[in-house]
Amino acid sequence: MPIYKAPVNETMFVLNDVLGLERYNNLPGFADATADMVEAIAGEAARLSEEVLFPVNLSGDQEGCTRGEDGSVRVPKGFKEAFNLYREGGWLGLAVPEAFGGQGLPYVLHTAVGEYMSSANMSLMMYPGLTQGAIAAILVHGSDAQKREYLPKMVDGTWTGTMNLTEPHCGTDLGLLRTKAVPQKDGSYRISGQKIFISAGEHDMAENIVHLVLARIEGAPEGTKGISLFIVPKFLPGADGEPDKRNGVSCGAIEHKMGIHGNATCVMNYDEATGFLIGAENKGLNAMFVMMNEARLGVGLQGLAVAEAAYQNAAHYARERIQGRSLSGPKAPDQRADPIIVHPDIRRALLTIKAWNEGGRAFLLWTALQSDIAHRASDEKERQTADDLLGLATPILKGVLTDKGFDHAVMAQQVYGGHGYIEEHGMSQFVRDARIAMIYEGANGIQALDLVGRKLGMNGGRAVMALFKEIGDFCEDNRGDESLSFFTKHLKKGLNDLQAATMWFMQHAMAKPDNAGAGSTDYMHLFGLVVVGYMWARMAKAAQAGLAAGAGEREPFLRNKLITGRFFMERIMPETALRKARIESGAETMMAMAADAF
């Protein structure tokens, strides 16, 4: 059976030693998040993840969701009870403003504990995950009445939420969307159409489901300019606010799919369902983007979360499984063979995953902190800088951490040899679950295009220049620090490659946009390497400071941190040169062959 232990010490190291959370005491909600309080909350989340969510992960994968003749959907055994404990613990509202029933704590804390929960049970955590996205959209774009009507029940998890964009003929290109909204005299709309692939679309864990649906109002312009966003509840709230009349929305089927079997991915049929406009007419994509940006961070988190769970199992297995002898002589002479962890190639795999997970976690929490600053700081300039960095980091985080999440779930599976391919160890589930994160919330190719086509040039390149400066300044400020020079040397080289690739795009992609498209995925990964490399340099600095101050029982942890960081710098960072070379080869060869020659 698979194992999982929430890495609380890793989280605390990033929050306290690297990001210095106490420096943000002036932000609303942060003063309550003292180091002790944060550790206590992380500990409680760890307990819930290990003891409640994780035990129903493998069984949920095996059982899946079932749909009844009447369109109702039953989640796997144990999910409802686990979700109830999650809900009763107030986890859904951890970072939601107190005015709507939340606790107003930092989003970075919500993100940190969200990792444990998604590691423990990604499928189950998608039900509240989509609810959180829907809450964010209603908070920003909903009317006061909508906020009063829907938010408290969604924040306490009595009602859950969904996000309905995709239709059979329209996924990435939402301009093709056909679902129709017809205005009614009472100000509501009649919504008709079919949505597919809707996560958590129907289930038996909540009293009501609040669908956020993109649709085109009759007579609205074609393309993305004519799309509006609607609240379509499964049950229309009555005068007392409780679920009343059944609305014209139903689950037509559950999709059969590769992974996340515990999450009901539904075909949703809207048959003159009553819907209520959120925000302005034809501005639905703006409103949905609030939800999507939040969700993209949450999907990046899923990539890390699954890779972490897979890593823990692979490391445990590598210590136990005996096979062959160490190249440098037996390490367990009393046994008939050595444990496979003595083999350098097994260590290569484990350290690759570990180095990405620890660097990725720092990147994730750094990004979540930018979100806190962007939404809570009193100083406008500070808010703007953080918002720039958040916008730039989001596609990189989503694309890179989920590509790595899948690669590393496979790498961890490889450590098990044939036993990884057999279902009972759970490694196959990690691989299958991790795969979807590369696809939904905008396939990773689209994240790369968002980065190159939109985020790079936004506001005259303000965000990218600010980040390059921050990383360059870090290298410069620490130039005299001998103990850090190994890290800054590699980081500087990676930054040079990234800056050169950025310049190449400026010179070669304006006139020939295919050059941008051809290099976009490599650019996203090049950027990811540099940002995670920057996180490693900061972690190394923090680890060295901790050791210099007398680390006590934390000493082995901090020394191992430096070893893992060195591995990242010497074994992973050099990939920046390869990525840059690919980008600079341009689109010509790629576009040379006729479509029918493929």
Ligand X SMILES: Cc1cc2nc3c(=O)[nH]c(=O)nc-3n(C[C@H](O)[C@H](O)[C@H](O)COP(=O)(O)OP(=O)(O)OC[C@H]3O[C@@H](n4cnc5c(N)ncnc54)[C@H](O)[C@@H]3O)c2cc1C
In Å, how far are 12, 97, 132, 447, 566 from 91, measured between CA atoms? 19, 13, 11, 29, 36
**Active-site residue, 441 included:** yes
Residues lying near ligand X in the complex (CB under 6 A): 163-166, 171-172, 197-199, 257, 265, 436, 439-440, 442-443, 445-446, 449
| Tokens of residue 367, six digits | 């990004």
| Tokens of residue 574, six digits | 């050099």
Q: How far is the CB of 343 from ligand X (least distance, A)?
A: 36
**∠121-560-526 over CA atoms, to 5°?**
70
The dihedral through the CA atoms of 276, 224, 394, 128 has a sign that is positive
**∠302-371-94 over CA atoms, to 5°?**
70
Contact 138, 231 (CB under 8 A): yes
Q: How far is the CB of 120 from ligand X (least distance, A)?
A: 19
- Smaller CB separation from ligand X, 188 or 302: 302
| Tokens of residue 591, six digits | 């576009």
d(CA 297, CA 441): 10
Q: How far is the CB of 35 from ligand X (least distance, A)?
A: 36
Closest CA to 497 of 473, 530, 467: 530
Q: If 0-12 CB within 10 Å is exposed, 13-18 middle and 19+ buried, where does residue 387 land?
A: middle
- Smaller CB separation from ligand X, 162 or 576: 162
- Smaller CB separation from ligand X, 165 or 365: 165
- Smaller CB separation from ligand X, 9 or 172: 172
d(CA 349, CA 420): 14
- Smaller CB separation from ligand X, 265 or 302: 265
Q: How many CB atoms lie within 10 A of CB 478?
A: 19
Q: Name residues whose C-beta falls within 8 Å of residue 442's C-beta, 6 or more positions apart in sequence.
A: 172, 292, 296, 395, 398, 450
- Smaller CB separation from ligand X, 313 or 429: 429
- Smaller CB separation from ligand X, 164 or 274: 164
Contact 287, 213 (CB under 8 A): no
d(CA 295, CA 278): 18
- The DSSP secondary structure of 154-204, one letter per residue, reads HHTTSEEEEEE--BTTBSS-GGG---EEEE-TTS-EEEEEEEEEEET-S-S
Q: How far is the CB of 197 from ligand X (least distance, A)?
A: 3
Q: Which one of 10, 441, 476, 588 is the catalytic residue?
A: 441
Q: How far is the CB of 429 from ligand X (least distance, A)?
A: 15
d(CA 202, CA 196): 12
Q: How far is the CB of 377 from ligand X (least distance, A)?
A: 32
Contact 214, 164 (CB under 8 A): yes
Which amino acid belongs to residue 436? Answer: I
Q: Output the 3-class SS for 136-164.
A: HHHHHHCCHHHHHHHHHHHHCCCEEEEEE
- Smaller CB separation from ligand X, 103 or 521: 521
How do 265-278 and 228-233 pair as beta strands?
Answer: antiparallel
Q: How far is the CB of 168 from ligand X (least distance, A)?
A: 9
Q: How far is the CB of 166 from ligand X (least distance, A)?
A: 4
Residues annotated as catalytic are 441
